[in-house]
């Protein structure tokens, strides 16, 4: 007799992950596949799900997925919930895939102070899994291609803001003059000093009103005059952008004192250090926040 | 008998232009060639110069060039002058090319408030050509790939700042998710309303502290929710970046009331409109600012 109570799926754009949870919500197994929604051959999501699950496909437990699988480009669209939204609201928006044993959590939409819409899909589930719902006020950041900063009030996702930090970093480094003098960075900080210098520059500049389009040019001129090693250009630029991001998030939420960093180990460590340096109490979330969030949503549903 | 008093050359990264000036400094002819320093076959600058000049090569008048031809990647390096610098200082830094009938104007280096170096090559000559040296205080912007904002006091280049506006625009539109929903823009404003909306967003955001990494994501979400036509995405993003640039330049120079826009016709018009909208008295410089600047420098030398 299987002890599986839930198959939880974190199904994004480039990869998919499945968790097997027992009746206490404990993760009993994890499976990964390079089957993000843009990687699924012929859009055959049913076959991709079978591949990802392997012999778990015979489990009779419910299956619940979050992430881009619920977008218009995914299997079935799960329409956005608007902020503020709590677990109950998200659970009420869960959509069943016709003809398949799978349900999908909706994404969330908000509007910033200027009225511009903002969206997330999958991060809402990780946030709910990482933040203690008993806390009156908490903040989370999910760093990456599109970093998300979220405000959570009593377990309710109140507001959030996307920053294109990771994607802008890659575009500037690979497709502008800034990469010309950079010797390449493979992801992890190779030059902690350069990162810190860029971070300080970004924080100070953004707090003084900010001029990212000007500041970024420093990655070239500092290297041009030998004031920054070419091996440090990429890390300096990363620090600069992250500094601008953190300072802007702090300005948007002046009552933010601490933040939970949800992400892969190396990137989470970089953000914990950077947030701490910026004056926030920062901690990395335990792994498998998505599995815990899906467990909470399955119970709320 | 030729009336040629100076052959003036504006020799940049991607193109080269030669002007024939008479003894009054009037431009009597212009020649262009796609022979920017990165386009010169085998780095044979002497042959490229002959091609550009055509039958002007027989003129005995002095030849003076400005731009990237004086960079380390150019023909002969003309070391940077530091700000503040006037015509006399630039003229004193002119370098002769050994074995060739050509002299090259130096570039200029400055440092921003944070001590980060900034550089220009060629723009200093255009600025000197466009700004009346009798004015106690004047400002100029040279929009483009790397926009330059300059402060000129009594004909002396006092300070300047580079903004990577054009290059960041291209990198974001062509190499991030923002281009996914954009139908392509061919350069000129195709959707003036979208440009104005982006401009207003950029100005307001930057004046409120700025969060470009967040604001840019609006080019996707506004289109995603049908609040911006896909044909307007590129112009909205252009307006957003230019708004951030102008607001930052205004913050850096709170005493700036008017600005001279030096650039090609369509881009200059876009910046004149945008600067006017931002509260500056803006006017486009007469064409051939480089030729006039080289004339002034040749007389100062």
pLDDT digits (tens, 9 = 90+) for B55-103: 999 999 999 999 999 999 999 999 999 999 999 999 999 999 999 999 9
- In SS3 terms, B79-142 reads as CCEECCECHHHHHHCCEECCCCCCEECCCEEEECCCCCEEEECCHHHHHHHHCCCCCCCEEEEE
Give me the DSSP letters along A112-168: -TT--EEEESSHHHHHHHHS-TT-SSEEEEE-STTEEEEEEETTEEEEEEEE-HHHH
Q: For the segment B190-248, what is each residue's pLDDT rounded down to a tens digit?
A: 789 999 999 999 999 999 988 999 999 999 999 999 999 999 999 999 999 999 999 99
Q: For the segment B17-60, what is each residue's pLDDT rounded down to a tens digit?
A: 999 999 999 999 999 999 999 999 999 999 999 999 999 999 99
Mean pLDDT for all residues in chain A: 95
Mutate to test the interface with A, among B145, B212, B218, B252 (most CBs of A within 10 A): B212
Give the integer Cα–Cα distance in Å for A286 and A268: 11
Backbone angles phi, psi at B287, to 5 degrees: -65, 170
**Chain B, window 97-126: residues with a beta carbon less than 8 angstroms from a chain A beta carbon:** 112, 114, 116-119
Helix (H) or strand (E) holding B233: helix B233-252
The pLDDT of A149-159, averaged and rounded, is 98
Pairwise CB contact (< 8 Å): B175 & A177? no
pLDDT category of residue A1 using cuts at 50, 70 and 90:
low
Strand partners for A141: A149, A261
Residue B242 · residue B199 · CB < 8 Å:
yes
pTM of the model: 0.95
Nearest residue to B201 via CA among A28, A129, A1, A113? A113
Is the Cβ of B222 closer than 8 Å to some Cβ of chain A?
yes
Residue A141 · residue A250 · CB < 8 Å:
no
Pairwise CB contact (< 8 Å): A225 & B117? yes
Q: For the segment A91-113, what is each residue's pLDDT rounded down to a tens digit?
A: 999 999 999 999 999 999 999 99
User: What pairing do the DSSP bridges indicate for beta strands B117-120 and B108-111?
Assistant: antiparallel
Instruction: Supply the pLDDT for residue A181.
Output: 86
Give the integer Cα–Cα distance in Å for B107 and B76: 12
Report the SS3 class of residue A195. helix
Pairwise CB contact (< 8 Å): B212 & A213? yes
- CA-CA-CA-CA dihedral for B165, B168, B173, B175, to nearest 10: 170
Shortest CA distance from A205: residue in chain B: B114
Give the integer Cα–Cα distance in Å for A120 and A135: 22
ipTM: 0.94
Residues in chain B within 8 Å Cβ distance of A238? none
Instruction: Supply the pLDDT for residue A185.
Output: 52
pLDDT greater than 80 at residue B185: no
Instruction: Supply the pLDDT for residue B119.
Output: 98
Is the Cβ of A177 closer than 8 Å to some Cβ of chain B?
yes
Residues in chain B within 8 Å Cβ distance of A241? 213
Quickly list H helices, chain A: 45-53, 87-92, 123-130, 165-175, 192-207, 212-215, 218-224, 233-252, 265-277, 289-300
Instruction: Supply the pLDDT for residue A183.
Output: 86
Q: For the segment A157-215, what is each residue's pLDDT rounded down to a tens digit?
A: 999 999 999 999 999 999 999 998 888 655 555 789 999 999 999 999 999 988 999 99
The pLDDT of A137-155, averaged and rounded, is 97
The pLDDT of B107-132, averaged and rounded, is 97
pLDDT greater than 80 at residue B14: yes
pLDDT greater than 90 at residue B187: no
């Amino acid at each position: 007799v299987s002890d599986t109570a839930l198959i939880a799926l974190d199904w994004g754009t480039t990869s998919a992950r499945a968790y097997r949870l027992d009746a206490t919500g404990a993760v009993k197994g994890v499976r990964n596949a390079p089957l993000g929604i843009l990687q699924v051959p012929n859009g055959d999501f049913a076959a991709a799900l079978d591949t990802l699950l392997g012999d778990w496909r015979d489990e009779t437990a419910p299956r619940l997925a979050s992430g881009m699988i619920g977008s218009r480009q995914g299997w079935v669209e799960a329409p956005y919930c608007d902020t503020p939204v709590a677990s109950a609201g998200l659970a009420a928006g869960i959509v069943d895939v016709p003809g398949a044993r799978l349900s999908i959590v909706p994404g969330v939409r908000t509007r910033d102070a200027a009225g511009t819409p903002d969206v997330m899909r999958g991060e809402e589930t990780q946030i709910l899994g990482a933040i203690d719902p008993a806390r009156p006020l908490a903040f989370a950041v999910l760093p990456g291609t599109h970093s998300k900063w979220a405000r959570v009030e009593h377990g309710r996702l109140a507001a959030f803001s996307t920053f294109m930090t990771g994607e802008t970093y890659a575009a500037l480094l690979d497709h502008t003059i800034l990469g010309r003098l950079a010797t390449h960075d493979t992801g992890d900080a190779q030059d902690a000093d350069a990162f810190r210098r860029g971070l300080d520059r970004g924080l100070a500049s953004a707090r003084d009103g900010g001029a990212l389009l000007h500041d970024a040019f420093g990655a070239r001129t500092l290297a041009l005059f030998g004031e920054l090693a070419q091996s440090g250009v990429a890390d300096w630029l990363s620090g600069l952008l992250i500094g601008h991001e953190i300072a802007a998030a702090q300005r948007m939420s002046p009552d933010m004192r601490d933040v939970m960093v949800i992400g892969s180990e190396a990137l989470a460590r970089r953000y914990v250090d950077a947030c701490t340096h910026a004056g926030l109490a920062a901690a990395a979330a335990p792994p498998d926040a998505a599995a815990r969030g899906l467990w909470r949503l399955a119970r709320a549903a």
